Structure 1
Amino acid sequence: MNLQRTNPTLYWLQRIGFYLLVTVITFYLLAPFAWAVLTSFRRSNDLGLSPGDFIKAPSTLDNYSQVFANASFQKGLLFSLLVASGSVIISLLLGSFAAYALGRFKFRGKQMIMYIILAVSVFPQIAVLGGLFTLIRSMGLYNNPLGLILSYLIFTIPFTVWVLTSFVRDIPGELEEAALVDGASPLQTLFQVLFPVMMPALVTTGLLAFINAWNEYLFALTFTSSNRTVPVVIANYSGASQYDNPWGPIMAASIVVTIPLIALVLIFQRNIVSGLTAGAVKG
């Protein structure tokens, strides 16, 4: 029954309420980011102004110039890119093999393994920090990119395996059977047949794991002393004196760090949508 015809007043009230709710949620989500962008274009002396005067204050690019001239920030960007990319690549490689085994084969203890993976993925980082720090130091990987990559695998691999396993289950088994009939080995079937089909899920999982590794702070602060990632570099920003809070440069650095993530999401948005909805509807 068409509500617009039977009860126009109720129909328009629902429409107005829906768009009002969407507007409130959008403002709630975007207002902090918009204020951070605005702060990045203001001078330090403008931070004490009232909100109205702060918005009307003239813009400046001095904060961005200061950020890009900071050698620690430049090094942190490269270090974050190295660590995040390395952890994602290893996670996708190992996670794909594990997901293929868990999604295709039946063996004893399979359900228990899935529960363990799920438990590890939600385990708090602080709970393993002490033991992991001792392990990293004993392996001689303290302040080393490899040590940070290995520590990030704790939360990237379980997430990757869990997401990819549910996707592998929904891939038709006829694809593998046809490849095996044509003489393909199991590895050839995995790399040449299943991986292309899994590409949306791989892109989605890899991007989400990259964002988690890129924004990670606790492990990066604990396992490094000089080779800092971007979140730690930004957190250690200091002003000209102990009473000076350099909010302008901090916000400018935060915006610079966020832009690559936004660009990746926009570039791969189709893959992300198809990867997140894969297996949601069965024909």
Structure 2
Amino acid sequence: MNKRGKIGFYIFLIIFVFLVMFPFIWVFLTSIKPVNEIFSSFKWFTSNPSLSSYEAALTNRPLLRYMLNSFVVSILTTLLALVFASFTAYAVTRLPIKGKGLILGIVLAASMFPQIAIISPMFNLVTGLGLRNSYLGLIIPYITISLPLAIWILSTFFQKIPYELEESAKLDGASPFQTFRKIIFPLATPGIFTTGILVFIAAWNEYLFALTINSEDSWRTVPVGISMYQSEFSVPWGDISAATVIVTIPIVILVLIFQRRIVSGLTSGSVKE
């Protein structure tokens, strides 16, 4: 690539990154503006930055409680989804089971159902079990929508592991569970981390089930909690922007911590050996 090509590439990259980051930049700049400037001007920067919106976001609504609820539900959903999806993906891809294609087809079909189509039976199920306004009441529907995604992703990773390793373990007398625990699972760690992050973010951002099932304020999750900042007569965009910045920080930190494993998982098997 010549010098002009490199300059053009970097200009394109800067523009692309700016367009991707623009919503986040605008939300942050809005969050530090005084309330009277949010609607009175459309300037990018304010001459009087203020943290009053952050204080209001933390005091007007129990934002930290919403974050705790989201963390608990998302972490438990991720752990359970990974456990069930790992065993399912291993059985479908590595064991001599008839109808593997049909099973994966059913899993794919289940993932295509829109949430609004299953909200009514899920609501009746959770209500019948007495699990409304609880963590478990959200985990159950979250598992149903995250399992198909997790199974499909993990099936792809398990299929790329050489079968010779599994055959060697069988010759040494290892059971299918021992083979899975000592060979398959460790080799699929990058894919498991990637799947876990995707499931966690999906559970963290879910809105419809959280709005319907947990109606008490102390059990609401972050997306529903932030939507409750608006009142009948006004929308406090400063508070909402500040709350959005606060709840985004943990996700950014999580991705930064595991970025190498995520990239490793996304690129695993992309190079033919």
Matched, 1:171 2:161: yes
Shift of 1:49: 2.8
* Partner of residue 38, structure 1: 29
**Counterparts of 1:171 and 1:28 in 2: how far apart (Å)?**
38
2:262 & 2:228 partners in 1: Cα distance? Answer: 34
| 2:31–2:54 Cα contact (<8 Å) kept | yes
Please tell me whether the aligned partners of residues 200 and 274 of structure 1 are also in contact (alpha carbons under 8 angstroms).
yes
Q: Please state how far the C-alpha of 1:118 moved relative to its aligned partner.
A: 1.6
Which residue of the partner structure matches residue 213 of structure 1? 203
CA-CA distance at 1:70 after TM superposition? 4.8
User: Structure 2: which amino acid aligns with 1:149?
Assistant: I
Give the residue type in structure 2 aligned to 1:259: I
Contact persistence 2:33–2:46 (CA under 8 A): no
**Deviation (angstroms), 1:32:** 1.0
Query: Which stretch of the first structure deviates more once superposed, 22-31 or 217-226?
Result: 22-31
Q: Distance in 1 between matches of 2:161 and 2:126?
A: 39
Normalised by the length of structure 1, the TM-score is 0.89
Match of 1:23 among 7, 14, 30: 14
Unaligned runs of 5+ in 1: 5-10
Residues 1:148 and 2:138 aligned together? yes
Matched with 2:230 is 238
Summarize the alignment of residues 1-283 of structure 1 with structure 2, pairs less than 5 Å apart.
Answer: 4=2, 12=4, 14-52=5-43, 55-70=45-60, 72-226=62-216, 227-238=219-230, 242-283=232-273
**What is the CA-CA distance between 1:168 and the residue it aligns to?**
0.4
The question of whether the paired residues in 2 share the 8 Å contact of 1:92 and 1:206 is answered with yes
Alignment partners' CA distance in 2, 1:116 and 1:268: 32
Identity of aligned residues (%): 44
TM value normalised by structure 2: 0.92
SS at structure 2 position matched to 1:76: helix
Q: Distance in 2 between matches of 1:243 and 1:135?
A: 36
CA distance in 1, matches of 2:254, 2:111: 24
Gaps of 5+ in 2: none
Query: Match of 1:175, as an amino acid?
Result: L
Query: Which shows bigger deviation, 161-170 or 62-71?
Result: 62-71
Letter in 2 for 1:235: S
Are 2:61 and 2:229, in contact at CA under 8 Å, matched by a contact in 1?
A: no
Stretches of 4+ aligned residues off by more than 4 angstroms: 14-17
Q: 1:71 Cα deviation (Å)? A: 5.6
- Contact 2:226–2:243 (CA under 8 A) maintained in structure 1: yes
Instruction: Report SS of the residue matched to 1:248.
Output: helix
